[in-house]
């Protein structure tokens, strides 16, 4: 179940750590009223940003995988995108979408770590 209070606390904790993080947690304003989205901008080539979106929902659906695929189709329309699902395929309620992964401004990996 979506917990707006927890989402607010997560945002505040990121802000307090001084991380350059901006995200929006909101309910999808569509026929998918039980789906929530977290969006942020990623640096793209030539100064153009790309979106990263994490969807969560469809918890009470008989086929959450198909349902969430429909959510992604509505969200991306005809835009170039990549969709990722959890590696063990045992969490069908989540989808991660990146707008035009080839347009991202990648940098060389230099031992960066998540959370640091």
- Rounded to two decimals, the pTM is 0.70
Contact 93, 68 (CB under 8 A): yes
C-alpha span between 55 and 28 (Å, rounded): 9
Inside any domain, residue 108 = no
How sure is the predictor about 114, in pLDDT bands with cuts at 50, 70 and 90? confident
For 12, phi then psi, to 5°, come to: -65, -40
Strand-pair partners of 35: 57
Q: Is residue 111 part of a domain?
A: no
pLDDT tens-digit series, residues 48-67:
999 999 999 888 899 998 99
Q: Is residue 63 part of a domain?
A: yes
Task: Quote the domain boundaries for residue 40.
Answer: 4-103
> What span, in angstroms and rounded, lies between the C-alpha atoms of 97 and 38?
10
At 116, is the pLDDT very low, low, confident or very high (cuts 50, 70, 90)?
A: confident
Q: How many domains does the chain have?
A: 1
pLDDT of residue 89: 66
- Does residue 15 fall inside a structural domain? yes
Whole-number average pLDDT of the chain: 78
């Amino acid at each position: 179940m979506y917990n707006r209070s927890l989402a607010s606390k997560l945002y505040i904790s990121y802000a307090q750590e001084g991380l350059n993080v901006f995200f929006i947690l909101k309910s999808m304003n569509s026929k998918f009223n039980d789906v929530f989205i977290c969006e942020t901008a990623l640096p793209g080539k030539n100064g153009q940003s790309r979106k990263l979106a994490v969807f969560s929902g469809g918890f009470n659906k008989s086929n959450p995988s198909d349902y969430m695929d429909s959510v992604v189709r509505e969200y991306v329309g005809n835009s170039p995108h990549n969709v990722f699902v959890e590696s063990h395929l045992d969490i069908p309620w989540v989808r991660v979408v990146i707008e035009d992964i080839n347009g991202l401004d990648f940098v060389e990996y230099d031992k960066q770590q998540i959370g640091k």
